[in-house]
Amino acid sequence: MWHAGSTARTSSGSPSREHVAPCAEMHVAFRLRGPAVRLIDAGREDAMGFAVAGGMRAGYYVKEVVPGTITVGAQFRHGAARALLGVPADELAGRHVRLGDLWGDAVVNAVLSELQAARQEEERLRILETFLLARVRPVRGMHPAVAGALAGFDPDAAIGSLVERSGVSHRTFISLFRHEVGLPPKLYARVSRFQRMLKQLEADPAIEWATLAMDAGYSDQAHFTREFHEFAGVTPEAYRRIAPGAAHHIPVNSVQDPRRIRR
């Protein structure tokens, strides 16, 4: 679970924007102070209200950042979507939905009111944890073929080796994996590799790009640069100049269609 506040400002005083890179997990977020959550994806801008669920994705989206906001949220392990949200992971993949559409507005508004009334970060997180635990419903466990593949998942492993160990056909494995995780295994491996690379870059911001590309498992630096831009919306050099305070949240200053930004 997490608790975040924004102090982002622009010279004009208007909201700023940030690219949010994929993090290989689903999440929910509750805006406790400030305006409704506004997201931009593939050029489409949506007001999501004050409580939102985000599915697994393989590309960045753009979030409007307003000074003075307070948001709390939680990221979910694989398999939690059906138990907590009542839908399979693939139904939410690549998109955001209002939590009221999943749980009902009355339920969401009640917990929002309780969270907003809390004054301390620890109290808000305790309320959120209690609420989420109460939402868990008994569901069937994750399919063993997928659970086995996710245990110690190696993004550099050949998908064929995962299929062979799963005991099911290639087509069945891909279908099961997508249903349980939200992405097909090959795409999930790419996102996981990107995750691994970001962690290494965060630990050593001055690392040489060629070294980082090799260590992270990319075939060459060109492959690394393409993947970086696809997932982050900026080039590695632009990312280094921006120096985000949080690895997956990349401040950008543009009113263009975010999908056309190249830096």
Please report the DSSP string for 168-230 in residue order.
Answer: S-HHHHHHHHHHHHSS-HHHHHHHHHHHHHHHHHHH-TT--HHHHHHHHT-SSHHHHHHHHHH
Do domains 2-135 and 144-241 share one topology? The answer is no
Quote the pLDDT of residue 84: 95
- pLDDT for 9: 56
Predicted pLDDT of residue 233: 96
**Distance separating alpha carbons of residues 5 and 71, to the nearest angstrom:** 6
Local mean pLDDT, 10-residue blocks, the chain (263 residues):
74 77 94 95 87 96 93 94 93 96 98 97 98 94 96 94 96 97 97 96 96 95 97 97 94 54 37
Q: What is the reported pTM?
A: 0.89
Query: Given this model, what pLDDT does residue 92 score?
Result: 95
CATH 1.10.10: does it fit domain 2-135?
A: no
Q: Which two tokens stand for residue 93?
A: 């993949």
pLDDT of residue 83: 93
pLDDT of residue 256: 40
- Summarize pLDDT for 209-241 with one digit per residue, the tens: 999 999 999 999 999 999 999 999 999 999 999
Q: What pLDDT is recorded for position 18?
A: 95
Write down the pLDDT at residue 254. 44
**Domain spans of the chain, in order of start:** 2-135, 144-241
User: Cα separation of 74 and 125, whole Å?
Assistant: 9
pLDDT tens for each residue of 100-139: 999 999 999 999 999 999 999 999 999 999 999 999 999 9
Distance CA 84, CA 156 (A): 31
Q: What is the pLDDT of residue 263?
A: 36
Distance of CA 120 to the CA centre of its chain: 26
CATH number for the domain formed by residue range(s) 144-241: 1.10.10.60
